[in-house]
Structure 1
Amino acid sequence: MPITFEQLTAHRIIPVAAIDVAEAAVPLARALVAGGLPVLEVPLRTAAAAKAIASIRDDEELAKAGMIVGAGTVIKVPQVETAFHAGADFVVSPGFSRRVVQHTLGMGMLPLPGVSSATDLMAAVDAGATDVNVFPAAASGGSAAIRALSAPFGDVRFVPTGGISAGNAAEYLAIPSVAAVGTSWVVPHRLVKAQDWAGITRIAQAAVALVGAVQKM
């Protein structure tokens, strides 16, 4: 049974990490869990990505923690198949493809198609989507653009990615239509490469605290 959008966005931050070495996947995911963020998007941009997703899915400790793992940068139907066989819960695309969305749903995974304009959003809505990835968020007008899109598309829930950092995440999360943000700030590549899992846990904890502060505003 596919996860729900509410489950995916429950923590309001979706860490995004390109993983070069599959063996780093489980300790990385455990570091996020320890920091209070049991969710990870692994872009299918490296040779290790599918194996990394599978490693996280097969880990009993992470399963008990309710870890959610998905595949990012999915632009073709064969990549949907790759994500499914790796055990991904959700699929994130940088743009909108009706075929990718339909195939993702057919494989029992949650799709998050990408949009960067009102035209893209109309196509996604026409296909039945109500939850979308705004990419690249910062380069497409930032939080102001999402606020503007929220007016005519009142039923759509947004997950901006691309250019989200510790310095601007709060302004996106303060928008009522933004369910969560996707960001690599929580999982810096240098820390993953250095296997500094404690460092990633500390950043995850800071991200959770930031979300708490936004919710109190």
Structure 2
Amino acid sequence: MAMTAPDLLSALRTERLLAIVRGSDPGAALDTVLALFHSGVRVVEVSLTTTDALDVIARARARLGETALLGAGTVLTAVQARRSAEAGARFTVTPGLTEAVAESRTLGLPVLAGAVTPTEVIAAVNEGATAVKLFPAALGGAAYLRALRDPFPDVPFVPVGGIDSAAARAYLAAGALAVGVGGPLVGRAAHGEGLDGLAERSEQFRTVALGAR
């Protein structure tokens, strides 16, 4: 089932949170994805740096059904974009302006394209990015996002990189569409170190995100 760019934007606008799963244990990564959805997180990205990431996406898709908002992250090439779509990813996320941006659009996949400078933001918009992944967001923090929104008031930004709950609150207050959160939310769960605390962290970030609507 295809997801359109407006579908993804609407989901991010509602949920305000994108969970990022990255790890070295495929089975644990799958368990982490399933646990996140079970905990109420509705938009999840599996980074292709995860061991056997495409298989994790395919297995998660089979378990979660066609409508789950599950995407592929750290997509660098056109081939990776195609394989992500074949595995069941409904959107892609790139760390920069890679060839995967144009290929994702060709495939009909919404794409969050990585950018950090004004020039890169303009290029991402011109490439047809659904939203701009502000990465690494920690370089400038919420004040930098606020400054970017002055010349780009209509660009949907999703800051990513080292975002804890306090930073998430600050970015959302500065006008982020949503925040992308990896380690501070997922911890070491996708490396096989257990799911302890994941539900509590999910609730904490969801409370911050939903409170910012």
SS at match of 2:44: strand
**2:3, 2:90 within 8 Å by CA — same for their partners in 1?**
yes
Q: Which amino acid aligns with 2:123?
A: A
> How far apart in 2 are the matches of 1:113 and 1:130?
8
Indicate which of 179, 184, 198 corresponds to 1:200: 198
Q: Does 1:80 align with 2:81?
A: yes
Tell me how many residue pairs correspond in the alignment: 208
* Partner Cα separation in structure 1 for residue 28 and residue 189 of structure 2: 13
**For the Cα contact (< 8 Å) 1:112–1:133, is it kept in 2?**
yes
Please name the residue that 2:174 is paired with.
175
Give the superposition deviation at 1:21. 2.4
TM-score by length of structure 1 reads 0.87
2:141 aligned residue: 142
Q: For residues 54-203 of structure 1, what are the structure 2 equivalents within 5 Å? A: 54-59=58-63, 62-63=64-65, 66-97=67-98, 99-129=99-129, 131-139=131-139, 141-176=140-175, 178-184=176-182, 185-190=184-189, 193-196=192-195, 198-203=196-201
- Distance across 2 between alignment mates of 1:163 and 1:25: 19
- How far apart are 1:11 and its partner, in Å? 1.1
Q: Aligned partners of 2:43 and 2:191: how far apart in 1?
A: 16
Tell me the percent identity.
Answer: 34
Q: Could you list the runs of 5+ residues in structure 1 that have no partner in the other structure?
A: none
1:186 aligned counterpart, secondary structure: helix
The CA deviation at 1:130 is 5.2
Give the CA RMSD over aligned residues.
Answer: 1.9
Q: Aligned partners of 2:191 and 2:56: how far apart in 1?
A: 13
> Separation in 1 of the partners of 2:153 and 2:174?
12
- For normalisation by structure 2, the TM-score amounts to 0.89
CA distance in 2, matches of 1:80, 1:191: 22
2:41 aligned residue (37, 40, 60): 37
Shift of 1:8: 4.1
The alpha-carbon deviation at position 191 of structure 1 amounts to 7.1
